[in-house]
């Protein structure tokens, strides 16, 4: 990364944030929603005001060239970007700050940090961009097995090492941030084309470790689809998988590390499948009388095998909240792209599917329609959304999201039950009616990935308890309805108890066995996915 350093509290770099006009728009929506002109606002402590405990360990001289105990580094690696992370940081609670932050420059230095951390009884937390929204990067120390905490930031492993234009793949270091990755691929005429909402402030290794969901709404929905092979540094040695387009040789070693959330090793490098840069685009936004009409149109498009790059739908309230529409209709943002061929036939058939379910195009289909109208407004709101939480939390607003996936036959029931359970929980927790909205982020022939947002007027002094009560109700409803606790946000610690209910227990036992073999001291990201 270049430019200003990342904020220790908030999204993005220091000096960046929503404009005064954007803040006015967002707060205006909440003032109307909760019929209030003023919010109870508290001040967020500055970096110099934080009270950090004295480091419990100090790196040896051999590690000091790339390790630090400086205030900024420790504060900036204390939390991710989940709602409870923001609340605790807002309150100046940095008790879990790492004692040491390491910035290794190669695999040898990763191994050296692991050896040292093991020798002093420290936990070790792998850290990409710190954009976790589920409590996945907070250092943990139990005082018994782990007596200190070290965070391993991979930002110095940031190169595209090699490009194979024949196989259309590249070897990329895991600490490479999204913009740098794309800039390094551009001269070769390729793109990874994986754009999560956190793209600007997250890394390839983080995407792989958390099974990130990216740009494509269908077909290539997760980073999994692009991984050709991996190199992983573990406390007992380096694992390197073979570069192959596919293999039927037993359980996939790549799959064991994809989604492992840093508990089995540190991903240091990966061969990734690339895409040609798109030269053909077609896009349109459509209005539907209801969200379920839009959902049925999405199912028709998905099951027609058209594989759009974007096929998001927003319920009427979600569209209104982002300024994409007036709240009278559900909105679909539909787009196709290709580096090889025109897309008129694909778009024409998709529009037929939408018309069958009362969809009306807002704009004539065009190569830049994804930048116009409701589609363009939504796109900009999507990119800017993460900046809002840093000023909404101090005014006592609880705004958060959760996502799932479910088969089409159960979707409408899940939607209604989860929405109702979350709305009830908001009233019970806060005493004030809140709001729950829904959109689709990714779609499959056999089901969608619904993404819910909830908005509540909280109370300072009780924000964490109120958020947890709402989160519990929503998560319980997801599991009971047969959905997954997460489609692409990962498990972390926030989703851990529901992940325990979702996964087969024998699989958990097998995962614990892999953990014991690869991380015998249990130092890597303790408490995530499994307990030793």
From residue 202, how far is each of 176, 194, 337 by CA, in Å? Answer: 8, 11, 24
Beta partners for residue 102, in sequence order: 67, 152
**Residues 118 and 520 sit within 8 Å (Cβ to Cβ):** no
CA 377 to chain CA centroid, Å, is: 21
**Is 352 annotated as a binding-site member?**
no
Please count the CA atoms within 13 angstroms of the CA of 253 that sit on its side-chain side.
16
Residue 386: DSSP 8-state:
G
Catalytic site residue from 83, 103, 451, 499: 451
**Is 264 annotated as a binding-site member?**
yes
**Is 261 annotated as a binding-site member?**
yes
The DSSP H or E segment spanning 55 is: none
Angle between helices 83-90 and 463-480 (to 10 degrees): 170
Take residue 178 and report the two structure tokens written for it: 């999204």
**Is 389 annotated as a binding-site member?**
yes
**Is 308 annotated as a binding-site member?**
no
**Is 263 annotated as a binding-site member?**
yes
**Is 267 annotated as a binding-site member?**
yes
Q: How many CB atoms lie within 10 A of CB 510?
A: 13
Distance CA 226, CA 241 (A): 14
**Is 517 annotated as a binding-site member?**
no
Please count the CA atoms within 13 angstroms of the CA of 69 that sit on its side-chain side.
14
**Is 262 annotated as a binding-site member?**
yes
| 451 given a catalytic annotation | yes
Distance CA 450, CA 430 (A): 25
**Is 131 annotated as a binding-site member?**
yes
Distance CA 478, CA 416 (A): 11
**Is 175 annotated as a binding-site member?**
no
Residues with a known catalytic role: 451
Annotated binding residues for substrate, as ranges? 389
Annotated binding residues, as ranges? 126-132, 261-267, 389
Annotated binding residues for FAD, as ranges? 126-132, 261-267
């Amino acid at each position: 990364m270049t430019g200003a350093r990342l904020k220790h509290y908030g999204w993005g770099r220091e000096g960046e944030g929503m404009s005064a006009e954007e803040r006015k728009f967002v707060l205006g929506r909440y003032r109307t929603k909760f019929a209030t002109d003023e919010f109870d606002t508290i001040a967020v402590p500055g970096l110099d005001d934080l009270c950090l405990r004295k480091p419990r360990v100090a790196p040896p001289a051999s590690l000091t060239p790339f390790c630090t105990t400086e205030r900024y580094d420790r504060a900036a690696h204390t939390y991710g970007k989940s709602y409870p992370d923001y609340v605790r940081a807002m309150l100046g609670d940095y008790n879990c700050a790492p004692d040491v932050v390491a910035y290794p420059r190669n695999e040898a230095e990763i191994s050296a940090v692991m050896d040292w951390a093991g020798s002093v009884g420290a936990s070790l937390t792998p850290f990409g961009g710190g954009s976790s929204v589920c409590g996945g990067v907070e250092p943990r120390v139990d005082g018994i097995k782990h007596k200190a905490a070290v965070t391993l930031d991979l930002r110095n492993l940031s190169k595209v090492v090699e490009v194979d234009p024949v196989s259309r793949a590249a070897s990329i270091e895991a600490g490479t941030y999204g913009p740098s990755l794309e800039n390094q691929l551009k001269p070769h005429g390729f793109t990874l084309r994986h754009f999560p909402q956190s793209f600007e402030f997250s890394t390839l290794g983080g995407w792989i470790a958390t099974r990130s969901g990216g740009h494509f709404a269908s077909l290539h929905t997760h980073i999994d689809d692009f991984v050709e092979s991996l190199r992983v540094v573990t406390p007992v040695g380096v694992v390197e998988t073979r570069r192959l387009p596919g293999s039927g040789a037993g359980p996939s070693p790549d799959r064991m590390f994809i989604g492992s959330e840093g508990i089995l090793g540190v991903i240091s490098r990966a061969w990734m499948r690339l895409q040609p840069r798109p030269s053909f685009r077609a896009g349109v936004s459509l209005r539907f009388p209801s969200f379920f009409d839009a959902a049925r149109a999405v199912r028709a498009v998905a099951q027609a095998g058209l594989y759009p790059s974007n096929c998001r739908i927003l319920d009427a309230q979600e569209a209104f909240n982002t300024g994409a529409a007036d709240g009278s209709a559900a909105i679909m943002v539909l787009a196709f792209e290709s580096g090889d061929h025109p897309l008129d036939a694909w778009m024409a058939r998709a529009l037929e599917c939408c018309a069958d379910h009362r969809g009306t195009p807002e704009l004539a289909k065009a190569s830049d329609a994804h930048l116009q109208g409701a589609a363009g407004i939504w796109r900009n709101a999507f990119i800017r959304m993460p900046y809002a939480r840093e000023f909404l939390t101090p005014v006592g607003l609880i705004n958060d999201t959760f996502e799932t996936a479910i088969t089409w036959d159960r979707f409408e029931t899940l939607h209604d039950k989860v929405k109702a359970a979350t709305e009830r929980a908001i009233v019970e927790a806060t005493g004030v009616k809140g709001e729950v909205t829904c959109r689709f982020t990714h779609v499959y022939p056999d089901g969608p990935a619904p993404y819910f947002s909830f908005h509540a007027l909280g109370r300072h002094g009780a924000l964490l308890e109120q958020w947890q009560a709402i989160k519990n109700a929503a998560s319980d409803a997801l599991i009971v309805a047969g959905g997954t606790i997460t489609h692409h946000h990962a498990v972390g610690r926030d989703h851990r108890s529901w992940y325990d209910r979702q996964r087969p227990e024998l699989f958990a036992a097998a995962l614990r066995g892999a953990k014991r073999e690869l991380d015998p001291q249990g130092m890597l990201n303790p408490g995530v996915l499994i307990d030793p």
